[in-house]
Amino acid sequence: QKRTSRGSVGVFNAAIYESLKEEQALHEGLRQAIAKREFTLVYQPLVTSEDEKLWAVEALLRWQFGGRAIGPDVFIPLAEKCGLIHEIGIWVLHRACIDAAQWQFDEPVAVSVNVSVIQLMADGFIKILDRALASSGLNPERLHLEITESVFAKNKEKVIREVNAIKARKVQISIDDFGTGFSSLSQLQSLNFDHIKIDRTFVQNLEEGSDTIIRATVLIAREFGCKTIAEGIETPEHAAHLKAMGVDYLQGYYYAKPLSLTDLLHWYNNNNR
Ligand code: C2E
Ligand code: CA
Ligand code: CA
Ligand code: CA
C-alpha cells in the first residue's frame, strides 16, 4: 500500500468500507431471502449430442434483492461463508424436485441440482436428500447432483461415504467444473460418479488448444464408464467441435439460456417435437 498522499489512502479505505457495507447488506438480505420469497429457480436445458433433444435440465438459483438481481457467483460464496448455504441448499433441492416431479415432457427428463461441497459434507445431507425425494415424489433416477471438483480436496472417506449413500438411492452425480481444480486420476477413480462436466473455460478456449484437454477428458471418462457433458456452448462451431470430440451431452446459450418454467415448456414444444 502506497502512502503518497493522505487523499489516496483515504479513497482506498473508503472503497474497502463501502465493500464491507455492501457485503453486510447482502448478508442481511440473504438471511431473509427465503422468507421473503426472493429466490427463484431458472432451468437450463442439456441436450444429447446425438440429436440435440432434451436430456436433463440444470436448476440455477436467482435472487431478486431490493429491485436488483444479484448473481449466484456473488451470493453463493457469501452464503457459504456465513453458513446460510445449508438453508438455501435445502430450499433449492426441494423446489427443484417439486418442479421436476410435475414436468410433463414426453420422455422422463432429469433435473440437475448444484450442491455446495459445504452442504454435501455437513451432517444430515442424506436425510435432506431423502426428504426432498419423499415430499416431491420424484423418481430418484431423475435427480442429478452437481458437485464441484473441489470435493476431492475434502476428507476422502467422508466423501466416499456420502457419494455411496447418494448412489444407493439411484440419484446420479455429476462432477462440475471439471479441469479447474486439482483432482488426480486416482482420486477420480475412487469415486463412483456418473458424469463429468467439462468446465466452460475449456469450451471457450478451444481455439487456444484446450481441445487436447477435452479429448483427454473424454478418454478418461470412457475408461471410468461415465458420460461427458460440455457447458458454455455458445456457437454452432462449439457444438460441432464438441460433438466431433465425442462429448455426450451439451449445454449453453446456443441451445437455450436458463429459462423460467413457462419458457422451458415453450422451448421444449418448439425444439423437441
Ligand atoms: P455453474 O454450476 O458452473 O453453472 C453454469 C453457469 O454458466 C451458470 O451461471 C449459467 O447461467 C452459465 N451459462 C450457461 N450457459 C452459458 C453459456 O453458453 N455461456 C456463458 N458464458 N455462461 C453460460 P449462473 O446461473 O450465474 O451460476 C453461476 C454459478 O453459481 C454456478 O456455476 C454455480 O456454481 C453457482 N450456483 C447457481 N445456482 C446454484 C445453486 O442452486 N446452488 C449452488 N450451490 N450453487 C449454485
Ligand atoms: Ca453446475
Ligand atoms: Ca460448471
Ligand atoms: Ca462454475
Contact 198, 248 (CB under 8 A): no
d(CA 214, CA 261): 32
Tell if the pTM clears 0.90, that is, is over it.
Answer: yes
Ligand 1 atom showing the smallest separation from residue 89 Cα: 42
pLDDT band of residue 15 (cuts 50, 70, 90) is confident
- Determine the Cα angle at 79 with ends 77 and 83, to 5°: 125
Would you say the CB of residue 252 lies under 6 angstroms from ligand 1?
yes
Task: Please report how many Cα atoms fall inside a 13 Å half-sphere around the Cα of residue 185, on the Cβ side.
Answer: 7
**C-alpha of residue 175 to centroid of ligand 4, in Å:** 11
Quote the pLDDT of residue 2: 47
The b/e string for 139-175 (b: 16+ C-beta within 10 A; e otherwise) is ebebbbbbbbbebbeeeeeebeebbeebeeeebbbbb
Contact 204, 223 (CB under 8 A): no
Question: 156-168 and 125-136 are packed helices; what angle lies between their axes, rounded to 10 degrees?
Answer: 20
Q: Whose CA is nearest to atom 14 of ligand 1?
A: 252
Tell me which of 145, 231, 242, 253 to substitute to probe ligand 1's pocket, judged by most ligand atoms within 8 Å of the beta carbon.
Answer: 231
Would you say the CB of residue 76 lies under 6 angstroms from ligand 1?
yes
Ligand nearest to the CA of 92: 1
Q: Output the CA torsion sign for 127, 141, 121, 23.
A: negative
Report residue 73 as a C-alpha cell: 457467483
pLDDT band of residue 155 (cuts 50, 70, 90) is confident
Would you say the CB of residue 69 lies under 6 angstroms from ligand 1?
no
Would you say the CB of residue 60 lies under 6 angstroms from ligand 1?
yes
d(CA 37, CA 55): 29
| Predicted complex: ipTM over 0.90 | yes
Q: Whose CA is nearest to atom 32 of ligand 1?
A: 73
19-49 confidence digits (pLDDT tens): 888 889 999 999 999 999 999 999 999 999 9
Residues 6 or more apart in contact with residue 191 via CB below 8 angstroms: 152, 159, 160, 163, 173, 175
243-267 confidence digits (pLDDT tens): 999 999 999 999 999 999 999 999 9
Q: Is the pLDDT of residue 7 over 60?
A: no
